[in-house]
Structure 1
């Protein structure tokens, strides 16, 4: 049987957060038609597989797609939320993307969506996909470009089992199973110190688990971001602008990489869980000050490397062993999260690779790439605006990220059309901060001038700091 033939301007592999942001901007900036293919049953990508208590690590106001607000602008009233703006839950995010797809994309008549389908083409000229339910195969004639939205390669515990050995009789579950626990456990062993491990520890504490009942296995301590410094709206103007300026000042004044991180920590831009332990990772995770205090209250923090094996009452790690109470529940949070986003050319012949071109902002990056696709002429010019930004993993990635992002930002600001688009993009945090700023507010305009000066100083010192990484 020959595969069915479909035609479209853009074929998008994936219907996750980046793909949705790209298509939303493509629809608003062009007359193109789009065909989206995704393995999940509904849009939202890895949010379909995440644990039930997952939340964003950035304000809802700056996530999703440009054309539709996410959330209601509420403040976080939880005990650990510090009254900051809401972080959408996984359930809210999936509902949001379903509405975007059904009420906007499909209703436009320019988008066709094929869920539960796997792309099996070669990503160059042979474009095919197959239904995971019926086995029916489709061939696609792409008039303009293929858009690859699979570079994130997101790993979550429910789809990536632990790589260590788990003996028979040991209770080891992904965090997805935690809300289904029907009785108290003598101890909870959280394996992993990334965003998922942080979320799991916070959830346990919020639900009444005593800090002394939690054993937190932390292969690496990570630098964290203060959630209060990335808040939207004029209400947080001073804090956000001063925070960004402080980061530029640190770049401009640092004499070494240790000096850079000292300056970032002293100015409140980066946080650490244990003041006595120097972090060896940076993943961009955010915490409120209240959450940080709660995490510091967990007494059993285990820094003996990665888990090798778990037996009843005993855990083997790279640099030692740990005895835990019999009957402890082990919660595996060791999946690597954003495992991808390896730097690749964004515009590569007839393919667009959705990767990071901004500071740890996948959805904003994808929306901006769509704008560039619609308004610039050739791939060389487009790539000049879209230098790939590394995925945060190591502490030194902090400066690598800023170097790439600042290069991009200088180019964006030199383009009048793109500058105007940035001023309307709700996915760009600074847009939400300055949107309601009035011309007569001289003090706040003075802060923006100070920020611009700090940025220039940072740009001038960047090459010296980057040279220290080689």
Structure 2
């Protein structure tokens, strides 16, 4: 390893820190819509960010058509014919996503001659980074730094549990599940989020009896129905219909509790157990068939968070549960996003991509890059890209939805942005709405319902948000 303290000096227009999905989506639009030069730095050997460390059986949770970069399709255009996603648009596997981002880097970005890519490098701040293997150090003088690491995505394979694990306890991240060669006495899945859901569905898919699974769920979650996220006119009643039902439910709600009840009744939200009121909302998406499968697991422990695990008991916030040294514990307790604080996206010399549309970080990154390419004023760019905060608790759904609706309204008032949205493949719903025939009375009625309830819904959300804040 080199011990030289000399810095290799680089000069560029944009320094993009992070080549995960957000960094790749941002770079793709920036390169397509400007003549800028870009330096891209990442700690992994290949682009794709956390996908490099994803568990082997991971797939996208929403249709592949809405993921990736704007210039290159990820979806195969299929409707799944088998499995728990049957009847819905294809979901790319983790391996497919990783290969896709590698292909985008090698065949879309680098051939332009305006992108310099530095993998296996630790970014030190202030334009400095160091190659992890050679020790070579670099300094970049850039007009703008794009920090695509701000949201700090974490994955199970690199997660350190925040509870004690005693000697002799069989404990692993779900990445290692396919490596098992002998069946334990039982499987204990720690974590009630999407990772826990994936672990349980995989176990049952490969033949594990659901009675052998214990699921530790510290908080139940409101879940989104994947059928309501599908592209194309054939799913219009589900996708645009779900949005219209959502706005109507909010607009007519008399309280926050009533709002969630109405959202569940109209099919916008799903939950695991009708008798357990969810308090968590992370935007997890699930099919109805997957939900039916999860309900086969009856041994669900709802006693708060895990405090410690030994070979004889699990200690939780609200009590203990017996276990044995022959049980296998699967860690699904990592939060996908660990940084929930927001900041302005555009500042002098710095861009910090965050979500500007709920549940869609890659679309958000592409849209932010488009604003950077086409707008001069920082104030205008920030006005058009209000941060849609990432949700944690159920109450966060209101802030997320309100901010997204305000953004959508502002975009709709701008002809140039409307045209960009219509042409961008990551915004499939604009094309879906535009394709509706004026003579299709059923679909036009859904669009009218959507429009009639939009402003009342925003007003009601702001009323609920203010009342909740005042009560804190």
TM-score bracket relative to the smaller structure: over 0.9
Corresponding residue of 2:104 = 100
- What's the CA shift for 1:442? 4.6
Corresponding residue of 1:115 = 119
Change (3 A) 1:33 1:138: same
Corresponding residue of 2:212 = 213
- What's the CA shift for 1:259? 0.8
CA distance in 2, matches of 1:214, 1:283: 23
Corresponding residue of 1:337 = 336
- What's the CA shift for 1:42? 0.4
CA deviation map 1:400-424 (0-9, x unaligned): 0011111111111111100000111
Give yes or no for contact 2:78–2:90 (8 Å, CA) kept in 1. yes
- What's the CA shift for 1:209? 0.7
Deviating more after overlay: 208-217 vs 447-456: 447-456
CA distance in 2, matches of 1:203, 1:441: 42
Q: How does 1:176-195 map to 2 (within 5 A)?
A: 176-195=175-194
Give yes or no for contact 1:234–1:435 (8 Å, CA) kept in 2. no
Corresponding residue of 2:45 = 41
Deviating more after overlay: 37-46 vs 422-431: 422-431
Counterpart secondary structure, 1:400: helix
- What's the CA shift for 1:436? 4.0
The number of aligned residues is 465
Q: Does 1:20 align with 2:24?
A: yes
Unaligned runs of 5+ in 2: none
Corresponding residue of 1:278 = 277
Change (3 A) 1:36 1:288: same
Corresponding residue of 1:320 = 319
Q: How does 1:215-234 map to 2 (within 5 A)?
A: 215-234=214-233
CA distance in 1, matches of 2:105, 2:437: 36
Using structure 2 for the length normalisation, give the TM-score: 0.96
Give yes or no for contact 1:193–1:221 (8 Å, CA) kept in 2. yes
Give yes or no for contact 1:11–1:34 (8 Å, CA) kept in 2. yes
Unaligned runs of 5+ in 1: none
Identify which of 68, 77, 80 aligns with 1:64.
Answer: 68
Q: How does 1:430-449 map to 2 (within 5 A)?
A: 430-434=429-433, 436-449=435-448
CA distance in 2, matches of 1:361, 1:368: 11
Using structure 1 for the length normalisation, give the TM-score: 0.96
- What's the CA shift for 1:55? 1.2
Give yes or no for contact 2:9–2:139 (8 Å, CA) kept in 1. yes
CA deviation map 1:347-395 (0-9, x unaligned): 0111000111111211011001011111112101110111111111010
- What's the CA shift for 1:435? 5.5
Counterpart secondary structure, 2:468: coil
CA distance in 1, matches of 2:70, 2:110: 17
Corresponding residue of 1:418 = 417
Give yes or no for contact 2:63–2:75 (8 Å, CA) kept in 1. no
Give runs of ≥4 in structure 1 deviating > 3 Å. Answer: 434-443
CA distance in 1, matches of 2:217, 2:431: 36
Corresponding residue of 1:54 = 58
Corresponding residue of 1:90 = 94
Corresponding residue of 2:77 = 73
CA distance in 2, matches of 1:199, 1:35: 36
Q: Does 1:2 align with 2:1?
A: no
